Protein backbone atom coordinates (compact mmCIF):
# COMPACT_ATOMS: atom_id res chain seq x y z
CA UNK A 1 0.00 0.00 0.00
CA UNK A 2 1.33 3.42 -0.89
CA UNK A 3 1.51 5.66 2.19
CA UNK A 4 1.51 8.79 0.04
CA UNK A 5 -2.16 8.24 -0.80
CA UNK A 6 -3.19 8.06 2.87
CA UNK A 7 -3.87 11.51 4.26
CA UNK A 8 -1.78 12.43 7.29
CA UNK A 9 -3.90 14.12 9.93
CA UNK A 10 -2.99 16.07 13.01
CA UNK A 11 -3.52 14.46 16.42
CA UNK A 12 -6.44 16.82 17.09
CA UNK A 13 -8.19 15.93 13.81
CA UNK A 14 -7.58 12.23 14.48
CA UNK A 15 -8.93 12.56 18.01
CA UNK A 16 -12.06 14.37 16.85
CA UNK A 17 -12.68 11.64 14.28
CA UNK A 18 -12.67 8.88 16.91
CA UNK A 19 -13.80 10.70 20.06
CA UNK A 20 -17.04 8.68 20.17
CA UNK A 21 -15.01 5.47 19.87
CA UNK A 22 -12.88 6.45 22.87
CA UNK A 23 -16.06 7.25 24.79
CA UNK A 24 -17.42 3.79 23.87
CA UNK A 25 -14.17 2.07 24.92
CA UNK A 26 -14.24 3.81 28.30
CA UNK A 27 -17.92 2.95 28.77
CA UNK A 28 -17.28 -0.75 28.08
CA UNK A 29 -14.16 -0.76 30.25
CA UNK A 30 -15.96 0.86 33.18
CA UNK A 31 -18.84 -1.57 32.84
CA UNK A 32 -16.54 -4.58 33.06
CA UNK A 33 -13.84 -3.28 35.44
CA UNK A 34 -15.46 -0.44 37.40
CA UNK A 35 -13.83 2.88 38.22
CA UNK A 36 -14.73 6.53 37.87
CA UNK A 37 -15.87 7.28 34.31
CA UNK A 38 -14.37 10.80 34.21
CA UNK A 39 -10.97 9.55 35.41
CA UNK A 40 -11.00 6.71 32.90
CA UNK A 41 -12.06 9.00 30.05
CA UNK A 42 -9.31 11.48 30.87
CA UNK A 43 -6.75 8.66 31.02
CA UNK A 44 -8.04 7.23 27.73
CA UNK A 45 -7.60 10.59 26.02
CA UNK A 46 -4.03 10.85 27.27
CA UNK A 47 -3.28 7.30 26.18
CA UNK A 48 -4.65 7.99 22.70
CA UNK A 49 -2.65 11.18 22.29
CA UNK A 50 0.55 9.45 23.44
CA UNK A 51 0.01 6.45 21.18
CA UNK A 52 -0.97 8.46 18.10
CA UNK A 53 2.64 9.43 17.50
CA UNK A 54 3.55 5.78 16.89
CA UNK A 55 0.54 5.04 14.65
CA UNK A 56 1.44 3.77 11.18
CA UNK A 57 -1.32 4.56 8.65
CA UNK A 58 -0.20 1.80 6.30
CA UNK A 59 -0.54 -1.05 8.84
CA UNK A 60 -4.03 -0.65 10.26
CA UNK A 61 -7.04 1.57 10.63
CA UNK A 62 -6.85 4.28 13.25
CA UNK A 63 -9.91 2.93 15.04
CA UNK A 64 -8.37 -0.55 15.43
CA UNK A 65 -5.09 0.89 16.67
CA UNK A 66 -6.85 3.28 19.05
CA UNK A 67 -9.04 0.50 20.47
CA UNK A 68 -6.02 -1.70 21.21
CA UNK A 69 -3.87 1.06 22.70
CA UNK A 70 -6.61 2.62 24.81
CA UNK A 71 -7.91 -0.71 26.14
CA UNK A 72 -4.40 -1.87 27.10
CA UNK A 73 -3.58 1.52 28.61
CA UNK A 74 -6.78 1.52 30.68
CA UNK A 75 -6.02 -2.02 31.86
CA UNK A 76 -2.57 -0.91 33.02
CA UNK A 77 -4.03 2.19 34.68
CA UNK A 78 -6.67 0.08 36.44
CA UNK A 79 -4.02 -2.39 37.65
CA UNK A 80 -1.92 0.43 39.10
CA UNK A 81 -4.94 2.03 40.77
CA UNK A 82 -5.96 -1.26 42.39
CA UNK A 83 -2.42 -1.71 43.67
CA UNK A 84 -2.35 1.82 45.11
CA UNK A 85 -5.73 1.40 46.81
CA UNK A 86 -4.55 -1.84 48.40
CA UNK A 87 -1.39 -0.21 49.72
CA UNK A 88 -2.87 3.12 50.85
CA UNK A 89 -4.86 1.86 53.88
CA UNK A 90 -1.88 -0.20 55.06
CA UNK A 91 0.51 2.77 54.90
CA UNK A 92 -2.02 5.20 56.40
CA UNK A 93 -2.71 2.94 59.38
CA UNK A 94 1.00 2.79 60.18
CA UNK A 95 1.54 6.51 59.75
CA UNK A 96 -1.40 7.63 61.89
CA UNK A 97 -0.25 9.40 65.00
CA UNK A 98 -1.86 10.72 68.13
CA UNK A 99 -1.85 10.33 71.87
CA UNK A 100 -4.10 7.27 71.88
CA UNK A 101 -1.93 5.37 69.41
CA UNK A 102 1.31 6.23 71.25
CA UNK A 103 -0.24 5.25 74.56
CA UNK A 104 -1.54 1.94 73.16
CA UNK A 105 1.88 1.21 71.68
CA UNK A 106 3.53 1.96 75.02
CA UNK A 107 1.22 -0.49 76.84
CA UNK A 108 1.76 -3.10 74.12
CA UNK A 109 5.56 -2.86 74.15
CA UNK A 110 5.85 -2.61 77.95
CA UNK A 111 6.07 -6.40 78.35
CA UNK A 112 8.32 -6.97 75.31
CA UNK A 113 12.02 -7.75 75.26
CA UNK A 114 14.41 -5.11 73.94
CA UNK A 115 14.76 -7.01 70.65
CA UNK A 116 10.99 -7.03 70.18
CA UNK A 117 10.78 -3.31 70.98
CA UNK A 118 13.56 -2.62 68.46
CA UNK A 119 11.74 -4.65 65.82
CA UNK A 120 8.41 -2.88 66.43
CA UNK A 121 10.21 0.48 66.23
CA UNK A 122 11.93 -0.60 63.01
CA UNK A 123 8.58 -1.48 61.42
CA UNK A 124 6.67 1.59 62.63
CA UNK A 125 9.48 4.07 62.03
CA UNK A 126 11.66 2.49 59.34
CA UNK A 127 14.97 3.96 58.18
CA UNK A 128 15.09 5.57 54.74
CA UNK A 129 16.49 2.51 52.93
CA UNK A 130 13.50 0.40 54.04
CA UNK A 131 11.05 3.20 53.16
CA UNK A 132 12.52 3.46 49.67
CA UNK A 133 12.30 -0.30 49.09
CA UNK A 134 8.70 -0.52 50.32
CA UNK A 135 7.42 2.48 48.38
CA UNK A 136 9.28 1.72 45.16
CA UNK A 137 6.99 -0.99 43.85
CA UNK A 138 4.08 -0.83 46.24
CA UNK A 139 5.30 -3.52 48.60
CA UNK A 140 2.78 -5.91 50.11
CA UNK A 141 2.92 -6.70 53.86
CA UNK A 142 4.62 -10.08 53.34
CA UNK A 143 7.30 -8.36 51.24
CA UNK A 144 7.81 -5.84 54.04
CA UNK A 145 8.55 -8.70 56.45
CA UNK A 146 11.17 -10.03 54.04
CA UNK A 147 12.76 -6.58 53.68
CA UNK A 148 12.83 -6.11 57.47
CA UNK A 149 14.38 -9.57 57.98
CA UNK A 150 17.12 -8.79 55.46
CA UNK A 151 17.76 -5.44 57.18
CA UNK A 152 18.03 -7.12 60.58
CA UNK A 153 20.31 -9.82 59.23
CA UNK A 154 22.64 -7.84 56.97
CA UNK A 155 22.63 -4.35 58.50
CA UNK A 156 22.23 -5.15 62.20
CA UNK A 157 23.87 -8.59 62.28
CA UNK A 158 20.97 -10.52 63.82
CA UNK A 159 20.99 -14.28 63.35
CA UNK A 160 18.07 -16.09 61.75
CA UNK A 161 17.19 -17.70 65.09
CA UNK A 162 17.14 -14.32 66.86
CA UNK A 163 14.89 -12.82 64.15
CA UNK A 164 12.52 -15.80 64.25
CA UNK A 165 12.27 -15.76 68.07
CA UNK A 166 11.60 -12.01 68.09
CA UNK A 167 8.83 -12.28 65.50
CA UNK A 168 7.33 -15.18 67.46
CA UNK A 169 7.40 -13.11 70.67
CA UNK A 170 5.59 -10.23 68.98
CA UNK A 171 3.05 -12.62 67.44
CA UNK A 172 2.39 -14.21 70.83
CA UNK A 173 1.83 -10.81 72.49
CA UNK A 174 -0.47 -9.60 69.71
CA UNK A 175 -2.52 -12.79 69.56
CA UNK A 176 -3.21 -13.03 73.32
CA-CA distance, 15 to 46, in Å (whole number)? 11
- The CATH classification number of 6-93 equals 1.10.1740
| pTM for this prediction | 0.46
Among 44, 46, 53, which residue's Cα sits nearest to residue 23? 44
| Residue-level pLDDT at 99 | 41
CA-CA distance, 77 to 42, in Å (whole number)? 11
Among 10, 24, 31, which residue's Cα sits nearest to residue 66? 24
Query: Which part of the chain is CATH 1.10.1740?
Result: 6-93
CA-CA distance, 132 to 50, in Å (whole number)? 29
- pLDDT (tens, 9 = 90+) of the chain, 176 residues, equals 444 444 567 777 887 888 899 999 999 999 998 888 888 998 998 888 888 878 887 888 888 888 999 999 999 988 888 777 665 554 455 445 444 444 455 666 677 888 888 887 777 777 777 666 666 655 555 566 777 788 888 888 888 888 888 888 877 777 65
Amino acid sequence: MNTASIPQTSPLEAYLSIERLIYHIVFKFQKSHGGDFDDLFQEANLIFLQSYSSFNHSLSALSTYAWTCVWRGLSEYHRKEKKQKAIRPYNESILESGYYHRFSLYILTESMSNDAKDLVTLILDPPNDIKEKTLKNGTKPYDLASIVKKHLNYKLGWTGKRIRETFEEIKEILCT
